[in-house]
Chains A and B, each alone.
Chain A
Amino acid sequence: DTGVSQDPRHKITKRGQNVTFRCDPISEHNRLYWYRQTLGQGPEFLTYFQNEAQLEKSRLLSDRFSAERPKGSFSTLEIQRTEQGDSAMYLCASSRGQGSGELFFGEGSRLTVL
């Protein structure tokens, strides 16, 4: 199975620490998306890449958040100086980029900030 994989699946950290999540998309997909999902809410768009270019960032993505996709393959999402409000499930998805709306999601990385 060569679906979208995310690592780590769970991360518990103390407030103020930095955390990094990794996403490996489906290999032939050129678009990669990051979403955040909190309890009782649907996924909220954070940012997306076409190949290595970051094309759009949500206003939800504060200065403490940074995402990269070097070489247009895997992507990382880093959160600096974590706050309790950052506790959420961080979802990665990829697509062929044909505007079909079919996103392939990973299982997510759950962040708990104590």
Chain B
Amino acid sequence: AQSVTQLGSHVSVSEGALVLLRCNYSSSVPPYLFWYVQYPNQGLQLLLKYTSAATLVKGINGFEAEFKKSETSFHLTKPSAHMSDAAEYFCAVSPGIGTDKLIFGTGTRLQVFP
């Protein structure tokens, strides 16, 4: 069975500071990994995805994530936080080929202070 664990349900950073949201996965097969973002009163949208190509994946709005098999991690980072980054972020895993079904983590709410 596949699963993801997001460490820290809430993360607070100052504007301009580094954003680091943690995600660890468990999978018996090479996983596809995703980060989705949910802004207030909006649907979830894809930030970025890892599908076994490059281990460093760049997404929208300056976010990136690095797949580290040895650590079973897929942490999300952004060098400099903006106020507009305040949202809930979900890590997700998929068994990959042939399915779009995703298993989501519990989410991390990012607050950005001026």
A residues in contact (CB < 8 Å) with B? 3-4, 31, 33, 35, 40-45, 48, 56, 91, 93, 95, 97-108
Contact = CB atoms under 8 A, between A and B. Distances in A.
Contacts of B104: 35, 42-44
A40 B43 contact: no
B48 to A, nearest CB: 10
Interface in B39-72: 41-46, 49, 51
What's the dominant secondary structure at chain B's contact region?
loop
A40 B100 contact: no
B94 interface: yes
B99 A40 contact: no
A91 B51 contact: no
Given A43-B44, A105-B45, A100 B51 contact: yes
Given A41-B106, A43-B90, A103 B100 contact: yes
Contacts of B100: 31, 33, 48, 95, 97-103
Given A42-B104, A91-B44, A101-B96, 18 more contacts: A31-B100, A40-B107, A43-B90, A43-B104, A45-B101, A45-B102, A45-B103, A56-B101, A95-B100, A99-B96, A99-B100, A100-B49, A101-B51, A101-B102, A103-B46, A105-B43, A107-B41, A107-B43
